[in-house]
Chain A
Amino acid sequence: MSNVITLNGISRVFTMGDQQFEALKGISFGVDAGEFVAIMGASGSGKSTCMNILGCLDRPTSGEYHLDGLDVGGLDPNQLAAIRNRKLGFVFQGFNLLARTPAVENVELPLVYSGIHAKERRKRALAALEQVGLAGKEGNHTSQLSGGQQQRVAIARALINNPALILADEPTGNLDSSTSEEIMKLFTSLNQQGITIIMVTHETDVAAFAGRRITFRDGRIISDSLTGPTSPAGRPV
């Protein structure tokens, strides 16, 4: 198994005026291909900050980040955009779909930026919607879908470019428990198809779907343990 992600001594310092706040204090861990990792920890412990760095939306103040063998630190904004587009899929707590836009076009959107032509885009978007159990809902606008359905659309969008990694920051945070369970079952089945997933959550029963649990406190990792039999062995660096 090769490492999809290697973090080495990652720190992130926020500067507000003359105040400095170190949200991440030297984080190091690796994630293998095919893993399903849950990140837990108290509010403000640095989980989202870490996810933003993993997602190439933010840069660490210091430390090294290798994604799929690539040193992300040396890339320019356009290259980072290309990585977000091709190697990563995002699922957010607030879904982050485009309003007044049909589901299928939301799913297509990453392909628009990878220069895939319209026919192919539509074909792949419909397939992705079917994969998340939303066949027949492609024409519905965001506002015509339930929260759980919206999150499925977001997952379909994350899947569409066959990413190496799906990053989900509190994907069930806005959903009730039964819908949460459906979404988690979907994640589990995607993981069983070989997709690597890193997910932030506050809920233990949600985290229970993952094979490995990393816990943050005050910008540090305080525990990293295997929890499920389905997951391959995690290897803390």
Chain B
Amino acid sequence: MDLLQTLKIALRALRTNKMRSFLTMLGIIIGIAAVIAMMAVGAGASHVIAQQIASIGSNIILVVPGSTTSGGLRMGSGGAQTLTSDDVRAIMNECPSVALASGTTRTTSQVVYGNMNWSTLIMGATPELFEIREWPVVSGRSISQQDVDGAAKVCLLGQTVVDNLFGADDPIGKMVRIKKVPFTVVGVLEQKGQSPQGTDQDDAVFVPLRTAQIKLSRSSFPNTVGAVIVQAKSEALLDKSEEEITSLLNQRHRITNGKEPDFSTRNLSEILAVAEQSSKAMSLLLGAVASISLIVGGIGIMNIMLVSVTERTREIGIRMAIGARRNDILLQFMTEAVLLTMIGGIIGILLGAGGAMIVSRILDWPTLISVQSVTVAFFFSAAVGIFFGFYPARKAAGLNPIDALRYE
């Protein structure tokens, strides 16, 4: 018996009981739709995290003052040294596994341009920062070493700041005031988007580190940096760099055994990897819940197929009497079950994809429907049909022709 004919017979059987077929499919539809939607939301989350990892730069270690145990910062109190530009230089020069290091300061301030003003993050930075974070300018130029050394009153603007202060105007060469100090805008940074913590990375102004230390800070220690951003030479050297930095700073800050260090290091990619893993675990869990609904749907299919075999016992008898072999009958009922689940699967895929799109529209949550998840869902629905259709089909094929013919 050819496949086309088998399909035709199966389709006719499903059509005769439209409502029943639809209700039977419903379990599969819901299950597959849930799987697709979950996978889309999960993949969207991982995608965002991966993007954020890339936006931070690779192989980054953050060195911040204060200790992890106390949690608070000990900025220059009790005579303890905090991180300084000299520390940064030492990390660059004396740690062999370190590629680049940049000292940074952060403060929040109003930035004024003409009669516009905008409160934003003011970061002091050295040219290395933009290299580490792979963050080029889209117009103008970046901050140079001469700017840092000469404490030049120049600045780079993030896209959000440009939008809020300048609108459509070109900010290059314009004068802005930060804490009453005039700065010349020399460049605009490429748009970065959100950080893993959810802050807008483009809502920032960058000035040369030395300028920030001297002109914008009221600290009595103008050499202080707020944090050091370090890039290891490779991913394999991340742990090694961390060790080198710790022992170097311990030595420089005279931290002996038993004394609490006045700095701490954090490996950013590690934090993000954990975040990514937990999002994966989440989507796996949701996937498991969805598969349970698929199994329930499959049992529904099996139930209806058993009813259908009983109802059509006479038809089976007729087919056998005129020459259908057991395998023909088996194939016929299997085809029916698989067709049910596959049609359900396709509807489920469409609904799931649509649902994911609606979620991403309404909640502004990114979703990603991968070809892989659609393929998996499709074949999984077929597999449910094969698995749960086999028993009823075998029951039909095992009928005795005379008994089947006599069945009322």
A-side interface residues toward B, CB under 8 Å?
Answer: 52, 55, 57-58, 77-78, 81-82, 84-86, 90, 92, 96-101, 109-110, 112-115, 117-118, 157, 161
B residues 1-55 touching A (CB-CB < 8 Å): 1-2, 4-5, 12, 16
Within the assembled complex, what's the spacing in Å between the Cα atoms of A85 and B325? 10
From B4, B324, B405, A81 is in contact (CB under 8 Å) with B324
From A82, A90, A101, A115, B1 is in contact (CB under 8 Å) with A115
A113 engages B324 (CB within 8 Å): yes
B residues 124-154 touching A (CB-CB < 8 Å): none
A113 engages B318 (CB within 8 Å): no
In the complex, the chain A residue whose C-beta lies closest to that of B401 is: A57
Min CB–CB distance A12 → chain B (angstroms): 11
Chain B residues closer than 8 Å to A100, beta-carbon distance? 12, 16
B323 engages A57 (CB within 8 Å): no
Chain A residues closer than 8 Å to B318, beta-carbon distance? 96-98, 109
Interface of B is mostly: helix
Ordered by A's residue number, 28 sampled pairs between the chains whose C-beta atoms are within 8 Å are: A57-B320, A57-B405, A58-B402, A77-B326, A78-B326, A78-B327, A81-B320, A81-B323, A81-B324, A85-B322, A86-B323, A90-B321, A92-B405, A96-B318, A96-B405, A97-B318, A98-B318, A99-B315, A100-B16, A109-B318, A109-B322, A113-B319, A113-B322, A113-B323, A114-B323, A115-B2, A157-B322, A161-B323
Among B2, B4, B401, the one with the most A-chain Cβ atoms within 10 Å of its Cβ is: B401
Among A101, A109, A117, the one with the most B-chain Cβ atoms within 10 Å of its Cβ is: A109
A118 engages B4 (CB within 8 Å): yes
Min CB–CB distance B303 → chain A (angstroms): 23
A113 engages B402 (CB within 8 Å): no
Chain B residues closer than 8 Å to A84, beta-carbon distance? 320-323
From A77, A97, A109, B325 is in contact (CB under 8 Å) with A77
Within the assembled complex, what's the spacing in Å between the Cα atoms of A55 and B322? 10
B321 engages A96 (CB within 8 Å): yes
Within the assembled complex, what's the spacing in Å between the Cα atoms of A82 and B402? 16
**Number of B interface residues in the complex (CB < 8 A):** 23
Within the assembled complex, what's the spacing in Å between the Cα atoms of A58 and B401? 8
Chain A residues closer than 8 Å to B315, beta-carbon distance? 98-99
A55 engages B321 (CB within 8 Å): yes
Among B1, B5, B327, the one with the most A-chain Cβ atoms within 10 Å of its Cβ is: B5
A85 engages B314 (CB within 8 Å): no
Within the assembled complex, what's the spacing in Å between the Cα atoms of A82 and B326? 11
Interface string of B322-338 (1 = CB under 8 A from A): 11111110000000000
A113 engages B325 (CB within 8 Å): yes
Taking A113-B1, A118-B5 as contacts, is the C-beta distance between A82 and B321 under 8 angstroms?
no
Within the assembled complex, what's the spacing in Å between the Cα atoms of A77 and B326? 8
Chain A residues closer than 8 Å to B16, beta-carbon distance? 100
Min CB–CB distance A223 → chain B (angstroms): 27
From A90, A101, A118, B322 is in contact (CB under 8 Å) with A90
Min CB–CB distance A111 → chain B (angstroms): 9
In the complex, the chain B residue whose C-beta lies closest to that of A81 is: B325
A82 engages B323 (CB within 8 Å): yes
Chain A residues closer than 8 Å to B1, beta-carbon distance? 112-113, 115
Min CB–CB distance B318 → chain A (angstroms): 5
From B2, B12, B324, B402, A52 is in contact (CB under 8 Å) with B402
